[in-house]
Structure 1
Amino acid sequence: MRASKWFLTAAIPLLGLWGCDSSQAKGPGSETTNGIVATVISDGMVASYAGVTLHKADFISNDTTGTVVVPNYETDSLGGFTLEDLDTGKYRLSIALGGKLHSEEISYSGNTLDLGEITLEAPGTVSGTFADGNGETLTSWIGVYGLDILVRTDSEGNFTLSGLPAGELKIFALSEDRKSVVADTNLTVKTSKTCSWIHTDLADRSSSSAEDPGSSSSPEESKSSSSAESSSSSELSSSSSKEFVSMVFEDFEDSVSFAAKNWYFSADTAAQINYPTLLSNYWDAVVDNSDRNGHVFSGYFSTEPGGYVIFGTRISTEGIDMSDLDSVTFYAKGSGNLRFALERWESTSSDNLKAWTKDLPLTSSWTRFSVSPTDFQLPEDDTLSTGWESVKKTVTRVHFFATSGQEISLDDITVYGLTF
């Protein structure tokens, strides 16, 4: 697999790329008549010996190790580099050091291109699901044009691309045999945030082919194939695919955003909050979790039979029309059971409305839950639920009810089908 990757990289005529060891690029002060020049900064200091990679903009990786940037060069002790003897064309330049990175698409015309100072930033994440028009999940390989990462969807069509550089990226999906591009889309990745790509109604793209991992084609053939593939994919993705609008409602990474939502953690008369208490800052319960590679909310409580606690927020005073809702997903762990609810609720109102799920069992391991409108209970099945049809046009609150346990932990609450 590694040999195939280096064969693909060889399609880019860069000096010093042969072999698996990175080469130190010349500093920006070096004399050159042809190249890309920059100085890299990280945490306010020069980024000495940062890894640097340059791929053609339409490069498709064959590396399935999950590595985002496999460096071919490194900066010098002053954080500078110069990449020389390049063909004209569009490239993606990527730089990484100590968990931070930068990537951008550049057009090189043959003259020296001085990019000035480049600042490395914390990465972001793209997650999503691949399915056909009937909702059947598909096995696929997901990657980013110009980067080294390539991951496989799981048995439910879900995928996660972690550690991606912030900025505009073009995500693609390959068929299971990795011989054809079946979809692609442009996404904006934000530092320390998760964005989503939900894709259905896949078109037949047999005319768009990624390089066969076992291919013996020449570098010139590889480049022309990739170029045709990128063009064909762009045309088809806009006309033959269905992309869902989505928003990461809460990922617990930003204290300002968390505070603006006024999250609360409360208990009924048959339950007690153990942590965080009403007198503490609820952000105190947002903690780092290595299993989730970031921050999560973890609340602790005790209940008597029939008691419950609520973790929730008011999203509107007048009510939001959520008729276009496709689903809400979130990760949860803990003990006891959880119910997810969308409500029109005010403590003094006589016409409160609620749509909530059946009990969702929590375990000590993180589980991804997906709730669609059909998962909300009907009034005839649960007297405490007025049903989705009653509340969908005037939703004011998002609630997580926890019962018969001692812990509720949540992460990455994502809404599909609408934004608000």
Structure 2
Amino acid sequence: MNKKLWLVLFALLFAACSDNGSSPSVANGTGSNAGKTEIACIDTLALVDENGNALLNGTAEIWELDESAPTLVRTLVADSTGVITYEASPAANHDAPALQKPAYRMLAAYAGDSLAGMTRLENGGALPKSVTLAKAGVVFGRIVDGMASVDAEVRILGKTASARSGSYTITGLPKGVHFAYVDADSYGSGMYQVTAGTVAVDTTDQEPQEPGITNPPQGTAEASPESAFPNSFDVSKQISTEQFIRVEDFENWGNRKTLIGQIYGGGSWFESSDSSMGGGSYIQPSIWSEHVFLPTYGSYSGTGIYTGLFADSSFAQKFAGIGFNLGADYEDVTADVPAFYDLSSMESIAFYAKGTGTIKLQLTCKGESGKTFYSVPVELQDKYQEYRITPADFIAANGSVDLEEVNSISFVAEENADIMLDEIRIYGLSIFEWEGLGHN
């Protein structure tokens, strides 16, 4: 049985970080410290497995990501004993200049040709003390324009695959969320989040059927947490010259967490209704059911979800809805995962939907004396439309809006409604600046 490998990065600060004459020094010839001597701080990274055995010929790479492409900043190579020695800043154990928005740095660790470990570098790029090597995973899918296949190139860090006749596969990736850059010839290029799993599961669409509560559309089959589902990309719908965060696309939704939550933590989906107050409103199919998935023929792009929101007409404060946290739950704030995000710089919250009835896009925010809700009504149509809700829309519907401490986004009905939902975005913000918008 293959043993699980661990990449342990031991940051051993030598005494050389103080000027004791035993370490290299560099004269600083410009700025306020001109003429002073800066001491180089030598750190080491030991690449080992869980038994402490050295991983020979291992490498670690520092990548900087933005909306257009990944850039390799630095490569660190282990010696014959499995140890990497590198020079870092004595002040903060940094290996590269301070992080500049909207840049985003990652440490990628390789065991042979496999990208076996990956972690986001926080605090301006400081190296972590350890990274766990995950099972080797796979990302696969299709690049299309509607139903037509598109030739393209798909890149994840240093790994590239050609999507000839629309199909692509990239192996040797750790399980989890990755940023894929797609260059689709005349369509242009775009970046989107994909999820790698260790077992490829190719979903098979069933015959189309009329969506309805008693006959819900069937979609993705139940799968294990190790499963990798297709990550398909429709260039006509998803490549855009506008800046936006893809919050959710439902392509890999087994854990019921948003795409952004799988990267930064939190992001759990939830159901809400008046049942806690004595009402009888409900959601069917439940978002926890496999019947909630819409296969390709019923979604806007790839996989979407479908549910019915049933309001109890006999209850005065009736409502039923589904939604997701931007980070942690309102009542479950931690230092690692913020519960509130500042969306005051956004242009709009957008989603693709069709259905019947009227739903409200609702924000739950932190108010002076507890939760504050802002909502905008949306009348659903029988064909998919993109709905963009702007701050001005919230002001028009509520009189005012404060977007500095947003906890969750929900789709709520006060009368019976059914909704097919896909591709949720926040326009005007970059995925790479998301971390700086969160707070508790």
- TM-score, structure 1 normalization: 0.42
- TM-score, structure 2 normalization: 0.40
